[in-house]
Amino acid sequence: MLSPAFRFDPYSPLVDADPFPFYKTLRDDFPCFWSADAKMWVLSRYDDILRALNDWQTYSSAKGNLMDELPNRAGATLGTTDPPRHDRLRGLIQHAFAKRNLDYIENHIREAARDAIAGCVAKQTFNFVEDFSSKVTVKVLFRLLGLPPGDDNLVRDKAVLMVQSDPVTRQKGPEHVAAYEWVQDYAAKVIAMRRANPGDDLISHFSTAQIEGDKLTEREILLTTTTLIMAGIESLGGFMTMFALNMADHADERRRCVADPALLTDAIEESLRYNTSAQRFRRCLAKDTELHGQTMRAGDFVCLAYGSANRDERRFADPDTYDIARKPKGHLGFGGGVHACLGTAIARLATRLAFEELHMAVPDYTRVEDTLPWMPSTTFRSPLRLLLARP
């Protein structure tokens, strides 16, 4: 049951800027929608997406999880491998990202934030992306992965480029693929260094690990490391920027968080629900599946719109209100199920500590631009620039 009048085009700048009205139409009128623009089905309701996340046998990640997948990536990363191998791969590294093992990095996050803040308070207006989130997330990621110092800015620029797509050609452009290949080469050099001189760091462990006697393939080591770099810098940076946007636009909520920084935890969770940077991921159907009167065929791709699930009033009352007292358990801002974001604990910790520090120095800020330059990405949503003015 297709309506010629309604389109859902994840390449459209309109969707980058504000996907939520589109999501509402999808949920209400076309809960299983074939998008000719995306060349895939789109699921938008919370229940359907949750079930898909749980049913990996039907909704496979092995053909890629990014809406625009990068070449040769599918099958070689955590997010693009199905159980049982996925579980073994993840089991090898997830301890390094567990909340209980992150105490060591807290001071590092605070220091990175303070360094960045010094640059922000030197001016009346600062760019949250360039002056704060990109600096902090690079430092945190480098520390987490034990990457050699130097090249921070370059790695950051490449990580941000690799998640974007060309809205005109409707695919990854040469500059995006080149950025991805640059990060791979960078990861390869670090892996080689660690193999030559193994240490007690994540990449050393990862590059020498075995699963039940099977070694990780070179591709798995390389591409998983590449993904960790992308996620730690771009995804986390994007989320921090979305949180800054919410704090800038919801002044009362920000003031409450400034007055009582313990409220940041709940404000962050509500941001993850309200406008997570991780808007849409994809799966590939392993078998024909009927849903809402549509027949999706084996081999079809399916978009799981987490950003829509999080605004589904069937699940969250008054979903379009940013309410920091909501405590939105079960939101899909980090995805969910076996592939739920590996960086969940570090993302929450880094965002909370960064904003504790920021709010001590800059408790009051407003957005300068009404219209933001949204990143052209079919998967992620965050602005490329967020100018904030201090009073």
Residue ranges that bind other proteins, judged by CB under 8 A: 47, 50-51, 53-55, 87, 90-91, 94, 97-100, 315, 329-330, 334-342, 344-345
**Cβ proximity to other proteins, 318 vs 370, nearer residue:** 318
Residue 209, judged by CB atoms within 10 A of its CB (0-12, 13-18, 19+), counts as middle
The order of strands in the sheet holding 59-60 is 32-35, 40-43, 301-305, 280-285, 59-60
Closest separation in Å from C-beta 341 to other proteins: 7
**Cβ proximity to other proteins, 48 vs 131, nearer residue:** 48
* Sign of the dihedral through C-alpha 50, 51, 56, 60: negative
Closest separation in Å from C-beta 132 to other proteins: 26
Contact 329, 270 (CB under 8 A): no
Q: Which position has the token pair 């360094």?
A: 115
Closest separation in Å from C-beta 357 to other proteins: 23
Residue 85, judged by CB atoms within 10 A of its CB (0-12, 13-18, 19+), counts as middle
Closest separation in Å from C-beta 339 to other proteins: 7
Q: Measured between alpha carbons, how far is 168 from 311 in angstroms, rounded to an integer?
A: 29
Q: Measured between alpha carbons, how far is 189 from 182 in angstroms, rounded to an integer?
A: 11
Three-state SS at 382: coil
- 66: Cβ contacts below 8 Å, ≥ 6 apart: 73, 163, 281, 282, 378, 379
Closest separation in Å from C-beta 302 to other proteins: 16
**Cβ proximity to other proteins, 238 vs 335, nearer residue:** 335
Q: Give per-residue burial for 190-199: e unless 16+ CB within 10 Å, then b.
A: bbebbeeeee
Closest separation in Å from C-beta 227 to other proteins: 15
**Cβ proximity to other proteins, 99 vs 123, nearer residue:** 99
Closest separation in Å from C-beta 174 to other proteins: 35
**Cβ proximity to other proteins, 8 vs 316, nearer residue:** 316
Closest separation in Å from C-beta 212 to other proteins: 10
Q: What are the two backbone dihedrals, phi and then psi, of residue 204, each rounded to the nearest 5 degrees?
A: -60, -50
**Cβ proximity to other proteins, 199 vs 330, nearer residue:** 330
**Cβ proximity to other proteins, 8 vs 334, nearer residue:** 334
DSSP states of 134-178: HHHHHHHHHHHHTPPSS-HHHHHHHHHHHT--BTTTTB--HHHHH
**Cβ proximity to other proteins, 87 vs 300, nearer residue:** 87
**Cβ proximity to other proteins, 73 vs 90, nearer residue:** 90
Closest separation in Å from C-beta 88 to other proteins: 8
**Cβ proximity to other proteins, 57 vs 125, nearer residue:** 57
Closest separation in Å from C-beta 251 to other proteins: 29
DSSP states of 8-72: --TTSHHHHH--HHHHHHHHHH-SEEEETTTTEEEE-SHHHHHHHHH-TTTEESTT-SSSSPPTT
Residues forming beta bridges with residue 127, ordered by sequence position: 387
Identify the H or E element spanning 331: none
- Beta strand 294-296 with 59-60: parallel, antiparallel or unpaired? unpaired
Amino acid at 338: V
Tokens at 44, concatenated: 């938008």
Instruction: Single out the residue of 231, 199, 203, 197 nearest to residue 380, CA to CA.
Output: 231
